[in-house]
A and B are shown apart, each in its own frame.
Chain A
């Protein structure tokens, strides 16, 4: 039973436009969420996180939105750049991040120049 789901395996976006990556979760105990970015042959790199006490967190071009009632979060990248092309993983944790991470299957983002 997959508790964190990223239903879009891939996404293509024109350079300069907004990229929106989605993530759904089923475990109501999750209260801390993270996004990681992964290039081929490298380990994941932390991008941004959000606690369930917030509904939005922003860091430069990256913004994460959390809708607790829908058990849904999204990552917005604006403007999208060619270097953003990578696989993006959503991850969730309980106990405000003190428990183990559960990852989604990832979304491959391709930015078209």
Chain B
């Protein structure tokens, strides 16, 4: 069973607030990912990391930023939340081996009022 955790699960905040979505995994995976998903839509990759101190932007432009100071931790930060940031944010990880099975966390559903 995958051990990847996201907090908070649900967050409702006002416009202009700074927020950090937490993601941690205990599997020692090098590769970690953040996806954004709106209802009925595909998962869009917004950030990824292939190891400590490595971060890259994904296919979908995002105003969020990420950091990877420790292997197990990959937080996502929004400096000033806006209603357009309302979405579900999913974190995933995988080992560096040949199998590309990504393990997903439960997600954070963010609502910005």
Cβ proximity bits A58-69 to B, threshold 8 Å, 1 near / 0 not: 000000000000
The bracket for how many chain A residues form the interface is 20 to 34
Say whether A101 contacts B90, CB under 8 Å.
Answer: no
Residue among A2, A32, A93, A101 with the most chain B CB within 10 A?
A101
The number of residue pairs between A and B whose CB atoms lie closer than 8 Å in the complex comes to 62
The bracket for how many chain B residues form the interface is 20 to 34
Chain B residues with CB under 8 Å of chain A are: 4, 6, 9, 33, 35, 40-45, 48, 58-59, 90-92, 98-107, 109
Partner of A103, one of B43, B48, B103, B106: B43
- Inter-chain CA distance A42–B6, complex, in Å, is 11
Say whether B58 contacts A100, CB under 8 Å.
Answer: yes
Say whether A97 contacts B45, CB under 8 Å.
Answer: no
Say whether B40 contacts A43, CB under 8 Å.
Answer: no
> Does A75 belong to the interface (CB within 8 Å)?
no
| Chain B residues with CB below 8 A from A98, complex form | 98, 100
| Chain A residues with CB below 8 A from B107, complex form | 41-43
